[in-house]
A and B are shown apart, each in its own frame.
Chain A
């Protein structure tokens, strides 16, 4: 009340003066400092385990075979056909996996979101269950199931569904089956939580205005679920880009992705420069995709409004 009476009081005044102003300012500064103090361990950690290694990665990628600065690691990627094929394969596998995840995950998430919440959390646990077992175990389990004399072929043949054993591993099919299985939860979780947050009133309102259940879904539910779909798909796609274990085991060397080329550059050719350059390109590509997507997401938020 006192301050309002002083004529000097104005929002433009650079340094407010008056009762307790200096003390209050000090308090504000102290608070900011405390906040910084609290986050400093995390900042330090990020510096040590992220910024320094990535910087090192960049540095190494510009070192040629003779130990001098050189662009040969990047030139090789452009000139050699095999590298182009690897990048194409990587994108192909990632896109297909993402697409299959959407096809399987969207209906599943929708189903879960419509269940009463107790049943839904039970079902969600079964979706998450695979997270609790090791990636390697799950991947080898698929190998056992899908191989030539594996369970799936045995049953298929004994039930008379097909005659000859079908080749389901050590190729694209096996890679995709394994990848989709591993990636599905990453799609379902954000999608489920978005769907869960869509107020039932929206669907009721659509029905009340005359929309059949199918039209209400496409006109109202689906558009409102796209932020979750987008976030989940992006997550899956980006994880796929750098994925190693599953394509390595189930692809049987026929599906070569960037991550696998990195490994062979190191293990076979002991060429850290080449491996680093691949890593840098993968990183830059991922960042670019994230950047483009974030623009989309923001646009989407503006268009979607409110939520």
Chain B
């Protein structure tokens, strides 16, 4: 039965955990829909995940991320749709025959088993010989830097350690697909940053197709090969972190990822204009009934001398400066009343030299940073 589920199980004794898993599987989700009463938790979701890819589902709370992961793991039965791991249709396969690793938001470590008991459990289920279990458990714990913790009880572990045990348990049976539901959300920031790097390098090492869920955009940008932004059970955009940040498909994505100022703009002939001011923009504007100029605060310049050629300039009145340690945020009011925020790095003296409230200033935006997006929410 386990052979059918995948050869990467106890049968092959010579496989070592640290070797890259060459048999990672692609995942193909098509037209998956799940409704709870009137709520569309998943609304006709289609998604192709490449073999060995690190894909992140990013979206606000209640957007359907967990539901999609639960469909992948087999705990939630969708209304209709298809799900393939490689060539195998698995939408009706019960969870215990899917052979995917998963970490739960609550970790779900069995409190009545030791650390080694938890990590060895999937191997015991696969009738792996005792000696080999011990070996592989030790290896997996080593991989998550918890060597020697095997005899500990779960309640003796800190949050970060529990997280690592959960990961060890999910990878010890060498699944070719790994699902993670907000694995780091319960950790404090320092540990979270560290674990992000660790999980990412673990993925590099093991190479399994990974679907990662988070609502933290920075985490998604840091870790992912590609990010699927989810809202209201639909995928808003599927792109690399860079494309997502630089070329958001719509206002929702632009708003959700990073900070930005949105200015309403209109198409006049060939030109895009803001308040009668034609804008220079590098990328073509999308065809949409309403358009917005998206300006990222860190890309806006505070102009003192003459601006570079083709740079878009905006007259404004300075408002307060917000000091944030490594950077400052300067809010400025444009003459149509819109607030534009400018972020700059704090260096010796910069904050003192900034304009004070009420000063007339000029803001500049290079054509490459003048991004025109679809103004609709989705």
Contacts and interface: CB of A to CB of B under 8 A. Distances in A.
The listed residue with most B CB atoms (<10 A of its CB), out of A205, A207, A209, A303, is A209
Contacts of B73: 204, 208
A307 B156 CA distance: 13
Interface string B107-121: 011111000000001
Contact of A209 (B112, B125, B153, B154): B125
B121 A209 contact: yes
A209 B123 CA distance: 9
Contacts of A208: 73-75, 95-96, 98, 100-102
A213 B154 CA distance: 23
Given A199-B106, A205-B108, A224-B112, A306 B96 contact: no
Interface string B297-319: 00000000000000000000000
A210 B99 contact: yes
A220 interface: yes
B108 A202 contact: yes
B94 interface: yes
A201 interface: yes
B95 A305 contact: no
Nearest to A205: B108
B245 interface: no
Contacts of A39: none
A205 B126 contact: no
A210 B122 contact: yes
Interface string B61-81: 000000000000111000000
A209 B110 CA distance: 12
Nearest to A307: B111
Contact of A205 (B94, B98, B104): B104
B95 A204 contact: yes
Interface in B239-256: none
B169 to A, nearest CB: 7
B112 A304 contact: yes
Nearest to A220: B110
B102 A205 contact: yes
B108 A199 contact: yes
Given A199-B108, A204-B108, A223-B112, A212 B96 contact: yes
Contacts of A307: 111
A211 interface: yes
Contact of B111 (A209, A216, A224): A224
Nearest to A226: B112
Interface residues of A, number: 24
B274 interface: no
B187 to A, nearest CB: 18
B186 to A, nearest CB: 13
B111 A207 contact: no
A219 B121 contact: yes
Interface residues of B, number: 30
B112 A210 contact: no
Contacts of B105: 201
Contacts of B101: 208
Given A215-B125, A223-B112, A224-B111, A210 B104 contact: no
Contacts of A204: 73, 75, 95, 104, 108
Contacts of B153: 305-306
A210 B106 contact: no
A185 B363 CA distance: 74
A201 B95 contact: no
B75 A207 contact: yes
Nearest to B153: A305
Contacts of B98: 208
Nearest to B125: A210
Contacts of A216: 96
B104 A201 contact: yes
Contacts of B126: 210
B2 interface: yes
Interface in A274-307: 303-307
A194 to B, nearest CB: 13
Interface in A91-120: none
B174 to A, nearest CB: 12
Contacts of A215: 125
A48 B154 CA distance: 46
B85 to A, nearest CB: 14
B48 interface: no
Contacts of A220: 110
Nearest to B121: A209
B204 interface: no
Given A204-B75, A204-B95, A215-B125, A210 B108 contact: no
A207 B94 CA distance: 9
Contacts of A201: 104-106, 108
B173 interface: yes
B108 to A, nearest CB: 4
Interface in A181-236: 199, 201-202, 204-213, 215-216, 219-220, 223-224
Contacts of B359: none
Contacts of B106: 199, 201
B155 interface: yes
A206 B96 CA distance: 8
A207 B96 contact: yes
A99 to B, nearest CB: 24
B300 to A, nearest CB: 42
A306 B100 contact: no
Contacts of B108: 199, 201-202, 204-205
Contacts of B94: 207
22 contacts: A199-B108, A201-B105, A204-B75, A205-B104, A206-B110, A207-B75, A208-B96, A208-B98, A208-B100, A208-B102, A209-B121, A209-B173, A210-B99, A211-B121, A219-B121, A220-B110, A224-B111, A224-B112, A304-B111, A304-B112, A305-B112, A307-B111
Shortest Cβ-Cβ A-B pairs, 7 listed:
A205-B108, A201-B108, A306-B155, A209-B122, A305-B155, A207-B95, A306-B111
Interface of B: 2, 73-75, 94-96, 98-102, 104-106, 108-112, 121-122, 125-126, 153-156, 169, 173
Given A210-B99, A303-B112, A306-B154, 18 more contacts: A204-B95, A207-B74, A207-B94, A208-B74, A208-B100, A208-B102, A210-B96, A210-B125, A210-B126, A210-B173, A211-B121, A213-B96, A220-B110, A304-B112, A305-B111, A305-B154, A305-B156, A306-B155
